[in-house]
Structure 1
Amino acid sequence: MKTVQIQNADMAWHIAADIHFPPGFVETRTYPAIVSIHPFGSCKEQTSGNVYGKALAEQGYVVIAYDASFQGASGGAPRWIEDPTQRVEDVSRVIDYLVSLPYVDDDRIGVLGVCGGGGYALNATLTEKRIKAVVSITGVNIGRLFREGFSGYNPLGALSAMAAQRTIEARGGELQVNELLPASPDVARENGLTERDVFEATDYYKTERGRQPGGWTRMLFSHAQKTLAWDAFAFAETLLTQPVMVVIGQKVGAFGAYRDGMEIYGRATASADRQLVSLEDWSHYDLYDKPGPVGKALKEIVPFFGKHLTDTSTAKTQTAA
């Protein structure tokens, strides 16, 4: 693995990324590549990198897992902004970097995203046609979630509060940085926060199971307005033409990955190859790192990417100009 800083000419800050290399990697050969996108509130060292990124690299892919702008080890200020438009632009910026690498086959680039990253992966694929195949793992449409549960089903009230807070900050007041989860599973239980997704997210992010220094699970409240007017699946019937695989768990939680997965699978009618992987007995956060469901997901993901990103199971030799 190699850690890099991506600094394209039109960027005011860098994107921090880990490149996972396949076994026996040789720089004079060209390889298919996969961009791996982390969940909302996460970082590249968590499920997108150390689970799916690592596993797909072992299957012969160059995988790049990166931190979103304003988050993790990436640049950008103020910190902890969750801006869907920027998140989608990050995907294109990472692809710009990939196509500059001599060992990446620019005709064999795929994208994979987990949770909110799954929604961003799908949305990026609508317009970024350098992406040849997309996989959404327990993907969530962050715009829909913000308009519903994350705003207390009061999106207009949330927007008014964000506007007021942004004015306070513009006048020099203190930033409002919201912590998204309880401090620990015990705190969650003590406060009755035992809904499946909330509790399992806490168990992942707030324990040694998944905790990482860059996985802050924080959000700058005042800069989240645009999220409420964003839709990961807008124009999917027309623009989502590439092969798409949607992986969901059938144990339903409040964040709505099952619902969103079924919706985008149903709407992806223009896709060259749409596939639904619905895993019985598993939940949203089981698909982050638990060997059973992750193994079942990879059993479908690996041949899917193999079909659409490479002609053989091994890297091809780079031809001389």
Structure 2
Amino acid sequence: MESVTFRNPDMAWHIAADIHLPPAFDADKRYPTIVSIHPFGSCKEQTSGSVYGKALAAQGYVVIAFDASYQGASGGSPRWIESPSQRVEDVSHVIDHAVTLPFVDADRIGVIGVCGGGGYALNAAMTEKRIKAVVGITPVNLGRLFREGFSGFDPLGTLTAMAAQRSAEARGAELQVNELLPASLEAARENGMTERDVYEATDYYKTPRGQATGGATRMVFSHAQKTLSWDAFAFAETLMTQPMMVVLGQKVGAFGAYRDGMEIYGRAMASKDRQLVELEDWSHYDLYDREEPVGLALEKIVPFFRKHLGEEDVSAAEAA
């Protein structure tokens, strides 16, 4: 694995990424490459890199797991902004960097994302046609989630509160940084926060199971207004043309990944190869890192990418 930072001329900050390389990597070869997008409130060292990044690299792909702008080791200020438009633009910036690397086959680039990252991956593919195949692992449409559960089903009231807070901060008040999860499993139980997704998210992010330094489950409240008007699946019927796979756990939770995954699968009628994978006995957060469901998911994902991205190009090495 190589850790890198890069920036584009139209960016005021850098993007940090881990490049996971295949076994017996040969810089004279050109490899199909997969961009891996982390969940909302996560970082590249968690499921996008340490689980799916490593697994796909072991199958012969170059995998670039990156930190979103304002998060992890990437730049951008203030910290902990969740901006869907920037998150999608980040994917294009990563691809911009990838196509400059001599070992990346620019004609065989795929994208995979987990949770909110799955929603971003699917959205990015609609307008970024350098992406040749896309996989959403338990994908969440973050705009829908913000308009519903994350705003207490009061999006207009939430926008009004965000407006007041942003004005206060412009006048010198401290940023309102919201913690998204209970501090521990014990705190979750004590406060009755035992709904499946909330409790399992706490088990992943707040215990040694999934904790990582860059995985701050925080969000600047005043800068999230645009999230409430964002829709990961807008124009999917027309613009989602690439091969697409959605992987879902059938144990449903409040964050709505099963619902969102079924929606995008149903709407993406223009996709050249539309596939749905449902795992009966598993939940949203099981698909982050649990060995059995991740293995079941990869049994479908790897052949899908093989079909649409193929194997590495050995012609350069053979010619040498």
TM-score range relative to shorter protein: over 0.9
- Confirm or deny that 1:166 pairs with 2:166: yes
Question: Could you tell me whether the CA contact under 8 Å between 1:148 and 1:155 is conserved in 2?
Answer: yes
TM-superposed CA distance for 1:315, in Å, is 4.0
Match of 2:314 among 307, 313, 316: 316
List aligned pairs for 1:134-149, cutoff 5 A: 134-149=134-149
Give the aligned partner of residue 30 of structure 2: 30
Residue correspondence of structure 1 range 252-291 to structure 2 within 5 A: 252-291=252-291
In the alignment, residue 57 of structure 1 is paired with which amino acid? A
Alpha-carbon contact 1:30-1:103 (below 8 Å) kept: yes
1:316 is displaced (CA, Å) by 2.5
* 3-state SS, counterpart of residue 41 of structure 1: coil
- Per-residue deviation, residues 52-88 of structure 1 (Å, max 9, x unmatched): 0000000000000000000000000011000000000
**Gaps (5+ residues) in structure 2?**
none
CA contact (8 A) 1:60 1:315 kept: no
Give, as a single letter, the amino acid of the residue that structure 2 aligns with 1:235. Answer: F
Alignment match, 1:93 = 93
2:69 is matched by which residue type in structure 1? S
Match of 1:206 in 2: 206
CA distance in 1, matches of 2:41, 2:19: 21
The residue type equivalent to 2:24 in the other structure is: G
Structure 1 distance, partners of 2:30, 2:316, is 5
- Cα distance in 2 between the residues matched to 1:284 and 1:316: 38
Question: Which residue does the alignment assign to 1:245?
Answer: 245
Which secondary structure state, in structure 1, belongs to the residue aligned with residue 183 of structure 2?
Answer: coil
Q: Distance in 2 between matches of 1:87 and 1:182?
A: 25
The alignment partner of 2:193 has SS state of coil
Q: CA deviation at 1:10?
A: 1.4
Deviation readout 1:171-191 (Å, 9 max, x if unpaired): 111100000000000100000
Mapped partners of 1:251, 1:196: distance in 2: 9
Q: Tell me, what secondary structure is at the counterpart of 1:10?
A: coil
Q: Which amino acid aligns with 1:221?
A: F
Alpha-carbon separation, structure 2, partners of 1:59 and 1:309 = 12
Give the letter aligned to residue 152 of structure 2. Answer: G
**C-alpha displacement of 1:7:** 1.1
The answer to whether structure 1 residue 61 and structure 2 residue 67 are counterparts is no
Segment of structure 1 superposing worse, 5-14 or 230-239? 5-14
Q: What per-residue deviation string (whole Å, max 9, x for no partner) do you get for residues 109-148 of structure 1?
A: 0000000000000000000000000000000000000000
- The residue that corresponds to 1:153 in the other structure is 153
Matches within 5 A, 1:183-202: 183-202=183-202
The TM-score, its normalising length taken from structure 2, stands at: 0.98
Q: CA deviation at 1:318?
A: 3.0
**Aligned residues between the structures:** 318
> What code does the residue aligned with 2:188 have?
A
8 Å contact from structure 1 (residues 135, 245) kept in 2: yes
Q: Which amino acid aligns with 2:314?
A: K
Query: What CA distance in whole angstroms lies between the structure 2 residues aligned with 1:163 and 1:24?
Result: 53
Residue 234 of structure 1 aligns to which amino acid in structure 2? A
Structure 1 match to 2:119? 119
Structure 1 position 221 matched with structure 2 position 221: yes
Per-residue deviation, 1:317: 2.7
Partner residue, 1:48: 48
2:30 alignment partner, SS class: strand
2:88 matches 1:73: no
Aligned to 2:236: 236
CA RMSD after TM alignment: 0.9
Q: Aligned-pair distance for 1:282?
A: 0.2
Return structure 1 stretches of 4+ with deviation > 3 angstroms. Answer: none
Secondary structure of 2:301's counterpart equals: helix
